[in-house]
A = this chain, B = another copy of it.
Amino acid sequence: MILLDGNKLSAVIRKEIGHRVIDFCGKEIRPPHLAAVLIGDNPASQAYVRNKIKACEEVGFASTLIKKPETTTQEELLDIVRGLNEDPKLDGYIVQLPLPRHIKEEEITLAIDPAKDVDGFHPNNFGRMALGMPSFLPATPMGIMIMLDRYQIPTDGKHCVVLGRSNIVGTPIALLMSKKSKPGNATVTIAHSRTQNLSEITRSAQIIIAALGIPHFLKEDMVSPGTCIIDVGINKIEDTSHAKGYRLVGDVDFEKVKYKCSAITPVPGGVGPMTITALLENTWRAFREKK
């Protein structure tokens, strides 16, 4: 069994990005610049944004954190977005989701300049991806594609079962895996909460990508020997033996499933760091394509 180590692979790729920055930038050319907008005090969101900013520092990107209170209005956030769109010294930015309930997320996403949309959530980027045109790919599916590529996991003609159909992971990874590309070119099944005979379907897969958000959902008896498993879930479960009173687990019953796999991602340390690495790649791309 190969452990698909997102930390190790990310370290390698981030070093590559860091070298690109050194080679390309200097006294005359400023480094790539990513901004992150964080509204409110959601602890998970704070941690994610912190990691993104840290990753920027790691590769020599400039970064800006825009932190605003939970009470920020729709119009105030739109003003921030417009400002970021117009800032010539900024290559890309993200608005960390989820947003407070009183803010219309869709309107914010639509206001982001697609050329700076390094999260790939704007319909224009999403549509380009779905149509197989060059675009910013959403960071999590892009991170998975990079991982499959670097670990040389065979995907061509394989049956890939995607658990979950979210806009952020399930739907885009299903699209990417089905395209005539490498990695990709897989037969893809999109399964979800309404799926019947799920175990039968997952057992017929050579690749399973689990993105349901249900701790330990994928059990040993749902997996055939030799399957490659990508676990996108990050779920908190109570654990009094940990200082914080909880620990993070994936959508896969890792300890029992791992013996049956050809390859598997751990949680944490699998898809998570790859997501941030993909965001760095998108920022690099925005920087290089800037007009």
Residues of A within 8 A of B (CB): 106, 122-133, 135, 156-159, 165, 167, 171, 174-175, 178-180, 185-192, 194-197, 200-201, 204
* B190 with A195: CB separation less than 8 A: no
The interface residues of chain B lying within 8 Å CB-to-CB of A194 are: 156-157, 180, 185-187
Output the residue of A158, A178, A179, A191 with the most chain B CB within 10 A.
A178
Smallest Cβ-Cβ distance to A186: which chain B residue: B194
Residues of B within 8 A of A201 (CB): 159, 187
Flag if B133 contacts A130 (CB, 8 Å): no
- Can you give 5 A-B contacts (C-beta < 8 A)? A122-B127, A125-B127, A127-B127, A132-B167, A178-B192
- The answer to whether residues A187 and B178 also contact, given A123-B133, A127-B128, A130-B130 and a CB cut-off of 8 A, is no
Nearest first, the 9 A-B pairs at minimum CB distance are A127-B127, A123-B127, A126-B127, A189-B189, A187-B195, A157-B194, A178-B190, A123-B128, A130-B130
* A179 closest partner in B (C-beta): B165
Nearest-Cβ distance from residue A178 to partner chain B, whole angstroms: 5
Residue of B nearest to A201 (CB): B187
- A179: chain B residues at CB < 8 Å are 165
Q: Which residues of B contact A165 (CB under 8 A)?
A: 178-180
Of all chain B residues, which has the CB nearest A198? B187
Q: Given the complex of chains A and B, what is the CA–CA distance between A187 and B189 in angstroms?
A: 7
Closest residue of chain B to A188 (Cβ to Cβ) is B190
Q: Which residues of B contact A127 (CB under 8 A)?
A: 122-130
B189 touches A196 (CB 8 A): no
